Amino acid sequence: MSRLRVVIVGGGFAGLAAARGLDRSPVDVLLIDRTNHHLFQPLLYQVATGGLSPAEIAQPIRAILQGQKNLSVLMADVVGVEEGRLIVSGSPPIPFDRLILATGLVPSWFGNESWPERAPGLKSLDDALELRARILGAFERAEAAESAEERERRLCFVVVGGGPTGVEMAGAVAELARRVLRLEFDRIADQTARVVLVEAGPRLLPMLPEPLGRRAADDLRALGVEVLTETRVEQMDDQGVETTQGRIEAATVVWAAGLTAEAWGERLAAETDRMGRIVVDRDFRIPGRPGCFAIGDVALWRDSKGAALPGVSPAAKQAGTHVAKVIQAELSGGRPPEFRYLDKGTMATIGRSRAVGVVFGRSVTGFLAWLLWLAVHILYLVGFRSKLLVFFQWVWSYLLNRPGVRLITGRLRRG
């Protein structure tokens, strides 16, 4: 009798947890990802603002899973699914007995086709490097600007979206501007950069208690960030953005406002929510698609009270581990344990020495929250080398009060 073939699409936290959970099981596991690396997305904003290098937050998937004898890895782009087969670019169709989707989410610009070029999202290393070039390049071009108006536009940064990514990005850009302007430039050394955080909702960090959202806004304002809530972006061009509160002339715009799932719901004829996430049952099975599971950000899982599983790395890892147990139970004829999410909390950092969050049900703020944020992120990095490099990079940056990777690579876009 042939062994069960389990195909996992996506090498993020959920996909890796599922693959590791099936180690030593009598199945053949194939993990497919469009890149060759696992990426620690929560620290992408630090690559974008020069705090860390790409190699410090990414590891090759093959190296991470080296030694798992029942597993193979394929770098490819999955473009469709048929009955029991995946359609993969540049490769024959891949049959499967069990399919685990762990593809995550991608930025959504709400149908505005010209906005991605003007306001990149932050979901990949390519995104982070593009933003790093734009942000650092803005200082260089401001230094060379001939008019005060052009210099002001070059030194204006707009971050759209008041979730964790937007809050962390705005704080990091504000601190970068202070340090770089003060230490390294001549003509713009006495000019203050303008950082504007635009949020369509009534407050920042809606996934956290309201007092923490207010604290985050206060901490950002202390860094010099302009916080605009209940403000929507209506138009965007190369010179700036039009909002419901007026126009902002800005050369650099960062998009952190919307996310969506790829077309997996349509491919599988599965029920989805407005973000395109696939509705799953309590064991992460996709109703109506036998043998198919969805985990991580691409899945919408609700508990008995209707609360959705949050889109954070601990939840993704726990979901991946549970699906591995479900498959093992199917093989043995037993019943899998009930999935119970252990909520370890959610945090967001606001620049140097400031953070807010909920850890095991308790609200934390300030320097203590920042230390906890550092510890948690080092803990969840994959690989001892990455943990060590990031720890020493943070210590070095903290002691010298300056970011360490201020390199502009590639060609700067016009605008």
Which neighbouring-strand residues pair with 194?
156
| Main-chain phi, psi angles of 343, to 5 degrees | -80, 105
- Marked catalytic residue, from 130, 152, 168, 199: 168
The question of whether 150 is a catalytic residue gets the answer: no
Say which residue the tokens 């972006």 belong to: 233
CA distance 336 to 317: 17
CA distance 149 to 43: 33
The token pair that represents 287 in the structure block: 């109703």
The token pair that represents 356 in the structure block: 């807010």
**Kind plus residue range of the DSSP H or E element containing 35:** none
DSSP 163: S
Residue 359's contacts (CB-CB under 8 Å, 6 or more residues apart) are 344, 345, 347, 372
How many residues in the chain? 415
The token pair that represents 4 in the structure block: 């069960």
The token pair that represents 264 in the structure block: 């997996």
Using DSSP's 3-state secondary structure scheme, residue 339 falls into coil
**Kind plus residue range of the DSSP H or E element containing 360:** none
Specify whether the CB–CB gap between 114 and 29 falls below 8 A.
no
Q: Give the residue numbers annotated as catalytic, written as ranges.
A: 168
